[in-house]
Structures are given as structure tokens and as C-alpha cells.
Amino acid sequence: MLDLKLHPSRTLVFLLAMAHLLSLLVVWLLPPMPAIQIATSLLIMASFLFHLRRDGLLAANHSILQLRLDPECNCTYQTRAGVWREARLLGSSMVTPWLSVLNLSPENSRLTRHIVIFPDSADAESRRKMRVLLRWKCGNASRA
């Protein structure tokens, strides 16, 4: 059983900030339409705050803090609220040494959950074991 504890990621926080700042820059470089630009800017800032809290800082109640994978590739995850949920690992997941993106389909839910794992998101040995398990045992995570 692989137990992966996740930590807030400075890398993800930085990338989220840069992506949202670039989006704001593009909105304000377009021809002047103040009402649309203000509304779009507010939506971009709301998106940034949502993803920063949920994915970058792991501070939201529905942030995923811990992941368990067994040798049969069954997956469970724990949220900050303390709730454990079972999920199916999707074949669209991707693992590399520098970035892993796990796409999960929780039971009794139509929504897909995504876990972005950078080197500063979890300890190196647990990430290595996860990559080995996903690449060689589960065989459904793509490799870059």
C-alpha cells in the first residue's frame, strides 16, 4: 500500500499566479471595453483564489491531502475535512519525474478530481514509489 501525504507546493502557487497574471494582462491589452474587462478580471481573480486555496495551499475543505494506492491500483483519498473517498484512477493521468497529474473519478460522483504533484508537493521516496506503481503496475498513466 502506497501512502502519499501531500504538502502545499510553492511551484504550483507560482505557476498559478503567473498564469492568472498573464490572463489579466491579455484582458487589459485588448481594445478598451471597461465593463467586459472588469467583469473578466473579477472572474480571473476568483479563479486564482479558488485554485490557490484548493490546489496550491491545500487550505480548502475539499483539498486532497493524502492519497492511498494499493497494488491493484485501487485509489482512496482524504480531504482536509477528513473525509476518505474511493476513486478510480483514470488512464489520462500522467507521471514524470518533475510533474505528476493524477485524474481520479470518485465513486458516486460525475466530477473528476485532479491532483497536481510537483517535487515540493510530497517527499521524494513516496513520489518515486508512486511513479513506479503507476507506470509499471497500473500501466494506465501516460509517460512523458
Of the chain, the end-to-end C-alpha distance in Å amounts to 25
Q: Bridge-partner residues for 79, per DSSP?
A: 64
- Give me 97's grid cell: 519525474
Q: Bridge-partner residues for 75, per DSSP?
A: 69, 87
pLDDT of residue 72: 82
In-domain check, residue 10: yes
pLDDT of residue 41: 98
pLDDT of residue 142: 53
The answer for 58, left when phi > 0, alpha when psi is -120 to 50, beta otherwise, is left
pLDDT of residue 1: 86
In-domain check, residue 144: no
Q: Which of 131, 8, 105, 115 lies closest to 67, judged by CA?
A: 115
Going residue by residue through the chain, which has 144 residues, state the pLDDT in tens, using 9 for 90 and above.
899 999 999 999 999 999 999 999 999 999 999 999 999 999 999 999 999 999 999 999 999 999 999 888 889 999 999 999 999 999 899 999 999 999 999 999 999 999 999 999 999 999 999 999 988 878 655 555
pLDDT of residue 64: 97
Q: Bridge-partner residues for 117, per DSSP?
A: 100
Q: What is the domain range of residue 134?
A: 1-139
In-domain check, residue 114: yes
For cell 493521468, the residue is 93
Q: Bridge-partner residues for 114, per DSSP?
A: 103
Q: How many helices (H) and strands (E) does the chain have?
A: 3, 8
In-domain check, residue 62: yes
Q: Bridge-partner residues for 76, per DSSP?
A: 68, 86
- Give me 137's grid cell: 503496475
Q: What is the number of domains present in the chain?
A: 1
In-domain check, residue 71: yes
